[in-house]
Amino acid sequence: MPDGPAFVDLFCGAGGLSLGFLLEGFNCLLAVDNDPSAVACYNTNLRGSFDRGAFLYDLSRLDNHEAIVSFLELYAPGVRRCDVVVGGPPCQGFSVVGKNKIQALVQSDNNLEMYWKKRNEERCMLYESFAMFIEVLEPRWFLFENVPAIMGHDIFPSIIDRFSSLLTPDGRKLDYRLVCSKYIASSYGVPQNRKRFIMIGRREDIKGAGEWKPPETGMPVTVLEALGDLPPVREGHRERVMFYPGSPAGNYQHRMREGMVGFEKGIVYDHICRTHNKDDVALFARMSPGSRFADSEVQRAVREINPEHKLIKYSVEKFRDKLHRLRPDEPAWTVTAHLQKDCYKFIHYNQPRTVTVREAARLQSFPDRFVFTGISMITSFRLTGNAVPPLMAAAFARGILDADVCLNMLASRRSFQDIWNEPAVTENWSGEQIRQGVSG
């Protein structure tokens, strides 16, 4: 295992948090998720000398310290301590969408109401799994990421209480100083105004760890700066391998192409998008940048294009943003997993179509070398929307290093090219181990 600070990534998804920490010189000892597509995507892209790869496992099955110790013995032999534990437990139960779904079910069917309430409660309690891993691994730091709405959820005080009273398996108190706040991704080089809740925990009883300070912020990256060098494509484009039409312009485009070597330097992967009917294409072409479904000119265009347009049935009050065309001169709004259902909230700023998988990944700050091999377009959109933007994660990893003298001395910042040029590892990885981790 290379020298340097080490982390464990719980609920890792496709690997946005991991990639950010890898860029700042950390090594990943263990990554876990219960989504087979996310694990496959993670291991296609990140499994190498700096990152040991992700395992498929449902962490809700681990309900005590002994179970976690046994899990670590199987999936991360020899790992009983790490420098940082990071993770974002699934957030649907905390989100505004989750609350709205329950309210709708209350009005329609009491049995469904009880089902969804129970399911959301179970998902909200996944922070308990995260807390128990901290109690077993006793890291110097932890980073807990989620949706901003978590701070207004009924369970939020319980979450704070839980992380303020951590106990090791032998009953020792772990004293962490907690810093909780909301942050916006566009402040950290991500071309997206994505707001996230982040809680940082710092061990009070160890040397070298100073006070946590938010990472330094920078100038926002616009949609044009993020996407302007990608080749134009028509709606329904399905060709997964293309060529760039020219050279990158600006720092962000250069950085997104890092890691490409040899013949790959000219290739764009996964620049694929949904098929649209002719009415939608005509409507997209008439929408100005920044316009949305509720705008009077958009409503007028819908009726002029087709008096029986399928969009007429949608309420302007309830679906104000059902269609939204990106502005080239500003960061995008929040990329979410709803992209798996449709991409109408992400209409390209000068092409009459919705965004491609590669464009969504660029807006999340995943580099072009991060590919979705063997994964469907719909699943690729979901994995991208659920991820933590890597450059935002890198900023917080850097913040931990800046506050921790010991870790900073060990870390060596990497580029995307450093990460993708590392050879893959083969030890501690087998189909049998994967099967043992999958819940029935």
Between strands 84-87 and 141-146, the pairing is: parallel
Contact 52/39 with Cβ under 8 angstroms? no
Give the integer Cα–Cα distance in Å for 277 and 328: 24
For 196-233, b where at least 16 C-beta lie within 10 A, e where not — what string?
bbbbbbbbeeeeebeebeebeeeebbbbbbbbbbbeeb
Query: Can 343 be counted among the known catalytic residues?
Result: no
Phi, psi of 172 (to 5 degrees): -75, 140
* 176-184 and 173-174 strand pairing: unpaired
Amino acid identity, position 337: A
Which tokens belong to 151? 């701070």
SS3 call for 55: strand
d(C-alpha 235, C-alpha 377), whole Å: 13
d(CA 278, CA 296): 21
200 SS3 class = strand
> CA dist 129 to 78, 118, 181, 207, 249, Å?
20, 17, 22, 27, 44
> What is the 8-class DSSP label of residue 85?
E
Catalytic residue, chosen from 12, 41, 82, 91, is 91
Catalytic positions: 91
